[in-house]
């Protein structure tokens, strides 16, 4: 009888210990889960989750640059290997990407972009050894000018997650800003510089940011008939598409052609000659091209140049021709 009672007491104690062990284990699991969630949230915050996105119009974040690039046609999600490839050639150089098509309006397999590295900026010229090194790995060389005004935004670049967050936060903000002010701002540039990602959409000289391969794809998409018409224009502009790269002798200063006289896939015709833009282009993000006095330019530009107040028009600034209105094909 006594032994039975002892067994009963011991059994109850064992069950109590097991229950307590189960509670401790459950509490440990919950604590670790909360700690993991807090760590993920802290990492997301560090990567820019809570950073505000401020879009403005003003001077560009970079001057004229010479870049080594590779042209890509296909989903933008596949461009990671191009970034890796360009960085592996020279890890110390800044990365740059130029996106020509709106992925919300264009099938992923038709989206076009150029990805590479900035070889030099401003008056500095890249060394021939550096150029030959990139050309050895299949990169081409091209020069971008420094437009007088751009739509720009920045986002922290502290981790790989920053890139994912930037694509989902900055681009919608840029779309809203450009559409709300009916600006002609294209293409989309991303410059990866130290701990910041600079987003830039030129408001002038847009044609100078289109690499020759874009013009070539436009010419092919128009078909043989239109290609023949373009060759009969007699302007010589169509012959530019036969060149796959631009030599360094043709610097940004020598390519004075503005968006009014050169647009991707359009042979020597200005914006006023009708809607000849590709349906792929980011230029359809804005319904029409607004003049500079309609911009909200405040503060000081990234290059130290004063931005303009909404009431003031830049002295001596030429207005580019207004872009013909086009119906929106879809929301960003």
Task: Give CA angle at 111 (216, 217), nearest 5°.
Answer: 10
Q: What is the DSSP string of 160-219?
A: HHHHHHHHHHHHHHHHHHHHHTT-----EEEEEETTEEEEEEESS-GGGGS-HHHHHHHH
pLDDT of 318 reads 33
> Three-state DSSP class for 78?
helix
Give the integer Cα–Cα distance in Å for 184 and 319: 12
The span from the CA of 30 to the CA of 148, in Å, is 56
- Regions of the chain with pLDDT less than 70: 1-17, 223-332
Whole-model pTM above 0.75?
A: no
Checking 308-311 for CB contacts under 8 A at 24+ apart, the result is: 308/58
Cα dihedral 145→148→152→157 (10° resolution): 40
Strands 196-202 and 188-193: antiparallel
pLDDT score, position 327 = 37
Alpha carbons 45 and 56: distance in angstroms, whole number: 23
pLDDT for 21: 80
- Nearest Cα to Cα of residue 218 among 267, 182, 183, 171: 267
Give residue 218's pLDDT: 83
For every residue of 56-73, DSSP letters joined together read EEES-SS-SEEEEEEEEE
Report the pLDDT value the prediction gives residue 319, as an integer from 0 to 100.
Answer: 31
Cα(145)–Cα(271) distance, integer angstroms: 20
């Amino acid at each position: 009888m006594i032994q039975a009672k002892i067994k009963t007491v011991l059994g109850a104690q064992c069950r109590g210990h097991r229950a307590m062990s189960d509670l401790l284990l459950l509490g440990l699991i919950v604590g670790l889960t909360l700690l993991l969630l807090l760590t993920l949230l802290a990492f997301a915050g560090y990567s820019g989750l809570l950073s505000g996105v401020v879009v403005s119009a003003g001077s560009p974040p970079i001057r004229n640059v010479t870049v080594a690039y590779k042209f890509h046609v296909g989903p933008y999600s596949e461009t990671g290997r191009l970034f890796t490839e360009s960085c592996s050639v020279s890890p110390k150089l800044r990365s740059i990407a130029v996106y020509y098509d709106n992925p919300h309006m264009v099938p992923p397999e038709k989206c076009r972009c150029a990805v590479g590295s900035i070889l030099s900026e401003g008056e500095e010229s890249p060394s021939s050894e550096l150029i030959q090194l990139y050309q050895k790995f299949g990169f081409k060389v091209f020069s971008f000018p420094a437009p007088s005004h751009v739509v720009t935004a920045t986002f922290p670049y502290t981790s790989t997650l920053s890139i994912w967050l930037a694509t989902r936060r900055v681009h919608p903000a840029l779309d809203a800003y450009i559409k709300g002010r009916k600006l002609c701002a294209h293409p989309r540039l991303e410059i990866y510089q130290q701990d910041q990602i600079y987003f830039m959409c030129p408001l002038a000289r847009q044609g100078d940011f289109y690499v020759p391969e874009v013009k070539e794809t436009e010419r092919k998409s128009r078909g043989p008939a239109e290609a023949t018409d373009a060759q009969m224009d007699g302007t010589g502009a169509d012959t530019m598409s036969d060149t796959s790269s631009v030599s360094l002798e043709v610097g940004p200063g020598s390519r004075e052609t503005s968006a009014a006289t050169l647009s991707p896939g359009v042979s020597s015709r200005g914006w006023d000659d009708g809607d000849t833009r590709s349906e792929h282009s980011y230029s359809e993000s804005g319904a029409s091209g607004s003049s500079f006095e309609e911009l909200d330019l405040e503060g000081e530009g990234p290059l130290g140049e004063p931005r303009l107040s909404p009431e003031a028009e830049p002295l001596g600034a030429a207005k580019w021709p207004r872009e013909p209105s086009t119906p929106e094909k879809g929301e960003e």
